[in-house]
Chains A and B, each alone.
Chain A
Amino acid sequence: MNAPFLQIRDLEVAYGRICAVRGISLEIAEGEIVTLIGANGAGKTTILRAISGMVPYTGSIVFGGMDLHGVPAHRRVALGIAHVPEGRGIFSNLTVAENLSLATWGRRDRLGIKADLARVHALFPRLAERAPQMAGTLSGGEQQMLSVGRALMSRSKLLLLDEPSMGLSPILVRDIFRVLREINATGTTILLVEQNAHLALQLAGRAWVLQNGRVELTGPAAALAGDPRVREAYLGG
């Protein structure tokens, strides 16, 4: 039997004495889009941070058959995990082009990098126009494009996205979600954290609903979207 693409077992994360994630297990197959939804403080961001290696955790995270325990964050990027962090994490003191270029750290395939840059520019033409500009001068939506574009530059196999729709106009949100679908069609597995549960459940195949660091519900996204408990708590009735 094939090992699952991403397998999380009994994940626990604490910040000091605050337990943010209390024993979560989940599996994701290659090529899936999976979403994590839940109220503020449910532990969604923390799970993504554990996967990308930004916080210490107990339990196991196995990616592509390899236990990530003790693998530092920057090596996980090389293994194929890209993380678009909450609040974008743009380097404001670098240009747009430099932000994109930095994400190819460790890659030596010049042609591949060039092709990926062309792809990002095709997905987000605005980033091509703004290439020499300091990233801090971009609008919020443009910074979000840059943050997603940057994650694409690392040629990841698994894309972790933390609230990519935050602060964006409905049109931009639609654009970003269209891009996510395209990225997924090229073979990238996506783990999406979203406040906009409507959209997330439309895009994803499966979903997890978290509460207080635990899994509340899980199942096919379409089924959860029809579940009265989810409708009431996350979809506004």
Chain B
Amino acid sequence: MTYLLQQLLNGLQLGSIYALIALGYTMVYGILQMINFAHGDLFMVGAFALFVAASVLGLPFVPSLLLAMIATAAIGVLIERLAYRPLRSAPRVSAIITALGVGLFLENLVNALSPYPKHVPTLLSNHSWVLAGVTISSIQIWIIVLAGILVLGLDLLVHRTKVGMAMRAISWDRTTAPLMGVPVNAVISLTFGIGAALGAAAGVFYALAYPIIDPYMGVMVGWKAFISAVVGGIGSIRGAVLGGLILGAVEILVAAFLPSTGRDLVAFALLLVLLVLRPHGILGRPRPVKA
């Protein structure tokens, strides 16, 4: 029983990271109906930005986190502006291929700048406590609490503010939104920026837990987060969080109780089964047809 609880706690930590990345996929899909396949690599960029902030600039944890989020947000905005915006009315497959290309570009750029894996310095002292037989570490608490705050903040932004309203309006009808005075391009840029910043936060948290980072770390994690977004219902903020938590828990439990080589197999099998049962994901709704 305590073993199960322990694994669920570890699953919550991993799931929080997936959830943060999944939010970026789901936000961009929500607003542009486009899958930003470069998003997993922004997670990696976030981890490297943390490395630069902490190791090169010598900043402490919180400023390093903020710097990583801001720098990655700027890169996310730039990618949209330079690579995706010119293709906005092109066939969707062009945008997907471009996104894959941008991802490869980011991986190779970082690889060129940093050919060897990097070790992120220890930024947080790691205490652990044992509660009812379950070991909980201070890094785990940081990750889960900060991820929770970011998720809640985003949910409030999207559902309770005018900017969020504008994002939802653009998602429904991008051509009519300007007639409300909404600067559509600026809101789309902001969406990419926020998604990238959340992905960067995930990269930072990941590097806290697994401090060896390399330019390809975003590939598999990115796929898992993408699966999370789809499982939860792509386009749905709450679905992305739910999907991330489910995937994190499933993965850790599979690794704990089955041969660990089955981990990714189960993740992808989950995607396939769910897509058959619920093509729109758990919280996703089929898009109503526009009148």
Measured CB to CB, the residues of A under 8 A from B are 52-54, 72-74, 77-78, 82-83, 85, 87-94, 98, 101-103, 105-106, 136, 143, 150, 154
Question: Which are the 5 A-B pairs with shortest beta-carbon distances?
Answer: A73-B178, A77-B181, A89-B176, A105-B181, A74-B178
Q: Supply 17 A–B pairs (Cβ within 8 Å), ascending by A.
A: A53-B178, A72-B178, A74-B180, A74-B182, A92-B172, A92-B288, A92-B290, A92-B291, A93-B171, A93-B172, A93-B288, A94-B168, A101-B162, A103-B180, A105-B166, A136-B288, A136-B291
Q: CB of B175 within 8 A of chain A? A: yes
Residue of B nearest to A78 (CB): B181
Is B165 a contact partner of A54 (Cβ separation < 8 A)? no
The residues of B that contact A90 with a CB separation of less than 8 Å are: 291
Measured CB to CB, the residues of B under 8 A from A are 162, 165-166, 168-169, 171-173, 175-176, 178-184, 288, 290-291
Q: A93-B172, A94-B172, A98-B165 are in contact. Are A85 and B179 (CB under 8 A)?
A: yes
Is B181 a contact partner of A74 (Cβ separation < 8 A)? yes
Report Cα–Cα, A88/B175, bound state, in Å: 12
- 9 more contacts with CB within 8 A, not counting A93-B168, A93-B172, A101-B162, are A54-B178, A74-B184, A83-B179, A89-B176, A91-B173, A94-B165, A102-B166, A103-B181, A106-B181
Pick the contact of A77: B165, B166, B178, B290 (CB < 8 A): B178
Taking the closest CB of chain B, its distance from the CB of A110, in whole angstroms, is: 12
Pick the contact of B169: A52, A77, A91, A154 (CB < 8 A): A91
The residues of B that contact A74 with a CB separation of less than 8 Å are: 178, 180-184
Is A105 a contact partner of B182 (Cβ separation < 8 A)? yes
Interface SS of chain B: helix, strand, loop or mixed? helix
Interface SS of chain A: helix, strand, loop or mixed? loop
The residues of A that contact B165 with a CB separation of less than 8 Å are: 94, 98, 101-102
The residues of B that contact A88 with a CB separation of less than 8 Å are: 291
The residues of A that contact B169 with a CB separation of less than 8 Å are: 91, 93-94, 102
Residue of B nearest to A150 (CB): B180
Report Cα–Cα, A83/B175, bound state, in Å: 12
Pick the contact of A87: B172, B179, B291 (CB < 8 A): B291
The residues of B that contact A92 with a CB separation of less than 8 Å are: 172, 288, 290-291
Report Cα–Cα, A179/B229, bound state, in Å: 46
The residues of A that contact B176 with a CB separation of less than 8 Å are: 85, 89, 91
The residues of A that contact B183 with a CB separation of less than 8 Å are: 72, 74
The residues of B that contact A52 with a CB separation of less than 8 Å are: 179
Is B288 a contact partner of A89 (Cβ separation < 8 A)? no
The residues of A that contact B168 with a CB separation of less than 8 Å are: 91, 93-94, 98
Is B173 a contact partner of A77 (Cβ separation < 8 A)? no
Taking the closest CB of chain A, its distance from the CB of B72, in whole angstroms, is: 27
Report Cα–Cα, A88/B165, bound state, in Å: 18
